[in-house]
Amino acid sequence: MFKKIIKSKTLKLFFTLVLIYFAFRKVDIGLILSQLKEVNIFALIFWLSISVISTILLAYRWGLLLIKRPKLDDIVVFSKSIWSATFYGLFVPTSAAGDIFKWIIIDEKYPDIPKSKLGASILLDRFVGMSMLIFFGFISQFFANRMGVQIPFVIRIIFGLIFLGCLIFYGLVFAGRANLIFDHKWFVKIKSIGDLVNKENSTQILKCLGVSLISDFLWIWQMWTISNYFGANLTFIEILIFLPVISTILILPISIAGFGAREQLYLYFFVKQITSPESVLLTSAISGIIGILNSLLGGLVTLTPEYKKPVRK
């Protein structure tokens, strides 16, 4: 019963509307709507292009975990898989459901890849991406005071602990001792990841981290340009510190496409640094819209003639 309540679309819609109400109740909604209407179409295309490039980079990163040297055709297939998953993810209650769509698509296209390995690659890919954001956030803390950014003590502790955990994990991977983790009874359900993090694949994982470095930088740069466009003028340091926290919280199935929850989190973390909540809400709203537009590309992907044709036999 509890799971049904949590996954209820009606409940998510309710929370979305409530969170949006509380986010916008004390701001000039007329000003926000007028500025949204006046957004330059070329700026919108520019931001969407960054999201498209980031998606392709994420597809390449995921491909590296399963294919030694992904070719252009492989990257195209993995890109279609991600776009399709994000498209269907707009209509399903949790982000995990989107991962299932990714799993099904690649399983159809690459029947030679074991299902356990494919499922493990999705989890490992998520971890690699998040660990790079954690790295960005942890390092940026040392520059925060100089930039006048106040970081709650709890966030500093959390970043430090997670960063230490990531260092230990990658240290074991590159030392060829990752089995110490995945042979433990606590991790029996994800033991298949151990096959992807052996010493032979350490070079692939290092490449994945490099790709994450580029894709995360593009994402942060996109956010920075949006905030400057609307006058929020968030600094790189602020975004580096708080975006990992916000993105982690948004994994929870709180609202539809993150709307409402994203605005509340942006207000909580960013409005302390500036004086205009309207500019923060505009930055958040456009970020969400760009995400939806990028996801809608997945709908176009599913209409392509070759969509259901396997790449390899």
pLDDT in tens, 87-118: 877 766 555 556 677 777 787 788 888 887 88
Q: What was the pLDDT predicted at 97?
A: 59
Q: Is residue 125 domain-resident?
A: yes
Q: What was the pLDDT predicted at 1?
A: 47
Residue range(s) defining the domain that contains residue 58 = 2-301
Q: What was the pLDDT predicted at 98?
A: 65
pLDDT surpasses 90 at 60? yes
Which of residues 125 and 190 earns the better pLDDT score? Answer: 125
Q: Is residue 308 domain-resident?
A: no
Per-residue pLDDT tens over the stretch 219-244: 889 999 998 898 888 888 888 878 87
Q: Is residue 307 domain-resident?
A: no
Token pair for residue 291? 């995400």
Contact indicator for 302, 101 with CB cutoff of 8 Å: no
Q: Is residue 311 domain-resident?
A: no
Q: What was the pLDDT predicted at 198?
A: 77
Residue indicated by tokens 């290092």: 206
The answer to whether the pTM exceeds 0.85 is no
Which of residues 21 and 58 earns the better pLDDT score? Answer: 58
* Other C-beta atoms lying within 10 Å of the C-beta of residue 74: 20
| Mean pLDDT computed over every residue of the chain | 79
Q: Is residue 166 domain-resident?
A: yes
Q: How many domains does the chain have?
A: 1
Q: Is residue 129 domain-resident?
A: yes
Confidence tier at 307 by pLDDT (50, 70, 90): low
In whole angstroms, give the CA distance from residue 125 to residue 196. 10
